[in-house]
Amino acid sequence: WGIEPSYLVSPTLRVSARYDRVVLDAYDGENSFRVLSPRLTFPLDGWGELFLMYSRYWYGDKIHLRAGQVPLVTEPDANVFKIQAQVAW
């Protein structure tokens, strides 16, 4: 589940923050992680949008490393930056 409130600062800028709790197994709520993602959205004259977003992940103790990652040497990604363009026609 998640929530994303947003605020239209001006016709050319929207600010939002998304919070998600991701449960990987419906019968095991402890096997979950959380994500907080502040985002800037720049509308492009009605034909698209440009997004700049940062995401911070918090993992529980039961989240496992991906294949190829070495315990105590590598950790799951905790900080992610994203640039995205979206066009509609």
- pLDDT tens digits, 51-68: 999 999 988 776 667 777
Provide the pLDDT confidence category of residue 25 given band limits of 50, 70 and 90.
confident
Specify whether the CB–CB gap between 34 and 57 falls below 8 A: yes
Please state, in angstroms and rounded to a whole number, the distance separating the CA atoms of residues 14 and 12.
Answer: 7
Q: Provide the token pair at 1.
A: 């589940």
Positive or negative torsion for Cα 74, 80, 85, 88:
positive
Please state, in angstroms and rounded to a whole number, the distance separating the CA atoms of residues 59 and 75.
Answer: 10
